[in-house]
Chains A and B, each alone.
Chain A
Amino acid sequence: MSAETGAYLPEGLPRPGPAIDGLGAEFWEAAKRHELVVQQCRACGAFQWGPEWICYQCHSDDLTYTRVSGRGIIYSWERVWHPVHPALQEATPYIVVLVELPDAGNVRMAGNLLGDRTQDVVIGAEVEAVFEDKGEGDEAYTLVQWRVVE
């Protein structure tokens, strides 16, 4: 894992935040520290993503966020050509990947695939998390992006 400068997508898109009830806050706080975490049940060990207030497997509410390696596998992908947000007018094409995390019960996370926007994307390719710091001051946040492991 590493940090990179230069945002993949321009400023102006919605910035991430926890749900109104607070769910998911730990993930975004960890991302700011450049740590990738996934919700895990302390009672039965199940990983679950996105986060929920109880474990889907054993219904315990004793849940934590466990740090994982940041290594993943591309599960699906898309290249976006038509911008649906004003901030993206000059930003297409761009690539979104869905990444499976083998060391977190194969939960999936979406992010951008860094590098050439016209690259061939291969389902099954190995990727690693890259932390992208964006925004400033009270509005600073960190996105979890992905890069193909050479």
Chain B
Amino acid sequence: MSEDATMRGKAAIVGIGETTYYKRGQSPDPEVKLVLDAIQLAAEDAGIDVREIDGFAAYANDRNDPSRLMTAFGSKDMTFNNMVWGGGGGGGSAAVANAVAAVLAGYSKYVVVYRGLAQGQFGRFGQGPQAAVAAGPGAFTAPYGLLSPAQSFAMRIRRFMHEHGAEQSALRAISMATYRHAQSNPRAVMYGRELTEEMYDNSRMIVEPFHLFDCCQENDGAAALIVTTAERARDMKQKPAWVMSAAQGSDYRQAATAHNSPDYATSNFKTLAPRLYAMAGMGPEDVDVLQSYENFTGGVLMSIVEHGFCEPDEVNDFFTLENFSAPDGKLPLNTSGGNLAECYMHGLELVHEAVRQVRGESTCQVPDANVSMVTSGPMVQPVSDLILAADRGVDG
């Protein structure tokens, strides 16, 4: 890859904002108001007027149309708008990447990446389809009680655990690390709600192998972040979180319906991870802290393996609370509490936390964190990932 062809170090995240994170149904404000608030907070954090935002990038079929948002703000011009296909959190890092592409292509000055989610006001992801007929691909699963995301993904995880001898303790370590980190984070919905090994083990089974604490929350809230070029980022209010690389996409026939992706026991990162590292000129050994999307713990398990942090047959040794704990574990993981314990903001809160680590502002700060990585949306199609850095290696 030639230097010119990459986005490495050419753009940065310069502002982040989020509303209060609520339990599902607890938001006093409608979803679109949450989004407007989050974007204004991000602009404030970046030190710009919200009307200077001229590009909008979202994912996961966000309901909040950029045309409505820019109208509400009274913005003079919209130069770019973009939606990453696919549901779940798979587009979280990709939306950032698309924002970077827009500013580097000269479309936009400031692109906001946003996600608003009020599951109390709209449908719940955790509920199965209630329609009388399952038409098309759903016909091969729904009539058998294979309905929810948890049920869909448990099947993949079970296969991975079978192929590699992974044990429940590996899943538990992920859950416990995220809950531990949330105890330092006042933004976290699970702040003040510690999780012990006994609580995990005794928690009700949702669908084997997932206990309650292996599953993400359902929340209300909104989050937004602002991307701009290196030239602008250098002189702005916040320390830039440099975008060193990003990748998005999907492996061979991963969307084959009725659970027929040829490589089944996968988070779908096998083709992305090499691209991500190649663009950054880095490897897993360079990563100081990781935010890995947890729809379910098992997805984190496979994401970590597929990004080269440990061999698939070594997960029982590597996946420990100690290794995943900030500040000095081998791989501090989901240091805000993530989707499990901070807020299920479809993983945009994970990008925010990656930015905070780079700025040195996390509530579970990894000392001198330079390389801060995000993986978005395991087991869905497409997925995406992102590497941020405090030092892009050219500023001297």
Residue of A nearest to B258 (CB): A50
- Interface size bracket, A side: 35 or more
* Bound CA–CA A75/B135 (angstroms): 25
Q: Are B132 and A98 in contact (CB under 8 A)?
A: no
Q: Are A17 and B139 in contact (CB under 8 A)?
A: yes
Q: Are B259 and A110 in contact (CB under 8 A)?
A: yes
Chain-A contact segment, one of B53-61, B66-74, B204-212:
B204-212
Residue of A nearest to B160 (CB): A76
Q: How far is the CB of B20 from chain A (nearest CB, A)?
A: 28
Known: A13-B145, A84-B148, A91-B145. A75 touches B159 (CB 8 A): yes
* Bound CA–CA A23/B144 (angstroms): 19
Known: A9-B145, A14-B133. A56 touches B258 (CB 8 A): no
* Bound CA–CA A14/B134 (angstroms): 5
* Bound CA–CA A19/B145 (angstroms): 19
Per a CB cutoff under 8 Å, which of B126, B130, B143, B208 touches A16? B143
Known: A50-B258, A76-B158. A13 touches B143 (CB 8 A): yes
Question: Is A45's CB within 8 Å of the partner chain B?
Answer: no
- List B contacts of A23 (CB < 8 A): 136
* Bound CA–CA A17/B130 (angstroms): 14
* Bound CA–CA A79/B158 (angstroms): 11
Question: Is B253's CB within 8 Å of the partner chain A?
Answer: yes
- List A contacts of B257 (CB < 8 A): 49-50
Q: Are A56 and B253 in contact (CB under 8 A)?
A: yes
Q: How far is the CB of B368 from chain A (nearest CB, A)?
A: 42
1/0 per residue B124-144: CB within 8 Å of A?
A: 001111111111111111111
Q: Are A75 and B144 in contact (CB under 8 A)?
A: no
List 9 A-B residue pairs with CB atoms under 8 Å apart, sorted by A's residue number: A9-B145, A15-B134, A16-B140, A17-B134, A76-B264, A85-B128, A110-B140, A110-B146, A110-B155
